[in-house]
Structure 1
Amino acid sequence: MKVSDKMTRDLRIASPEDSIQDAARSMAECDSGVLPVGENDHLVGMVTDRDITVRGVAEGKGPNAKVRGVMTVDVKYCFEDEDLDHVARNMAEQQVRRLPVMSRDKRLVGILSLGDISLGEGAMPALAALSGISQPGGEHSQTGGPRS
């Protein structure tokens, strides 16, 4: 099974210049905890509800702070034509719950979440990803991962 078979195609994209309040509002409207961040037709980051909380609110930033100041810029991604099992293993190794999905010409075409994988054929890819993601710490933990 390919990533394109399970990814979510309907996306909202934040701008690095959007306020974190606008990003949070967009997340609430689409019932998602993450937004890809795009600038000049390129993926430049990802912002999560947790980024807004831990990197924004906890650091005393107000609702008008820019997404650029809280987003993760070291974005891992996958391609839409990749094998789903392979990508699930990579998600476990990288300890990420969601990956932007790119076309081979590097255009954002969707997002793949652990939930999307769990709806795949059988539970093994999701269990493998969850096992790795659930390990403590890691590059993308809120206390030590790359931001900008």
Structure 2
Amino acid sequence: MRVREYMVSPAVTVSPETSARQAALRMRQEAVGCLLVVVEGELRGIVTDRDLAVRCLAGECSPQTPVSELMTSSVVTLETADDIATAYYAFRKSGVRRLPVLDGRGRVVGVLSVDDLFLDVFQRLSDLLGPVAWSVLHEPPEPPRPSAALRPSARRR
């Protein structure tokens, strides 16, 4: 499986001059937790809802502060053709929750989040557990018998 099959596309982008307030409003409008900061399709950075809260609000910045002053500019990225195992590794190594996805020419085309990979994990689990669940439905397990420690007579002293 490839990253392109799991990513959300198109990515929500803003220019570096976008104010913190405009970025927050855009996040709310698009129901996203990050914005990719882009100039002519080229990734310059990423700004997250956490960046707005910690770097701007807690840092006592003005709502007019441009996102270029709040964003993370050294961004770990993925490519659409990367194997999903590469994405798991990138998330584990970087410790971030969202990664921009680039096409073969280095242009921003989407975002992959840890939440998107949860869908993969759940699908794989259901694939594994499906046959087990089916066999249990045909032969329901016997109800568990209470242990001696849980029987009322064993609790008395």
Three-state SS of the structure 2 residue aligned to 1:122 is helix
Residue 110 of structure 2 aligns with an amino acid whose one-letter code is: G
Q: How does 1:74-113 map to 2 (within 5 A)?
A: 74-113=74-113
Distance 2:53 2:14 in 1: 17
* TM-superposed deviation, 1:57: 1.1
For the aligned residues, what is the CA RMSD? 1.1
Distance 1:110 1:76 in 2: 13
Distance 1:86 1:72 in 2: 21
* TM-superposed deviation, 1:51: 0.5
Distance 1:25 1:73 in 2: 21
Q: How does 1:1-148 map to 2 (within 5 A)?
A: 1-120=1-120, 121-122=123-124
Overall identity of the aligned pairs, in %:
34
* TM-superposed deviation, 1:59: 1.3
* TM-superposed deviation, 1:60: 1.0
Three-state SS of the structure 1 residue aligned to 2:92 is helix
1:128 maps to what in 2?
A: none
Q: Deviations over 1:34-72 (max 9, x none)?
A: 000001331000000110111111111111111011000
Higher deviation after alignment, 18-27 or 6-15:
6-15
Contact 2:11 2:108 in 1 (8 A): no
Is there any run of 5+ residues in structure 1 with no aligned partner, and where? 124-148
1:140 maps to what in 2?
A: none
* TM-superposed deviation, 1:22: 0.4
Distance 1:117 1:11 in 2: 17
Distance 1:68 1:46 in 2: 9
TM-score (norm 2): 0.75
Higher deviation after alignment, 33-42 or 46-55:
33-42
Aligned residues: 123
More helix as a share of residues: 2
2:151 maps to what in 1?
A: none
TM-score (norm 1): 0.79
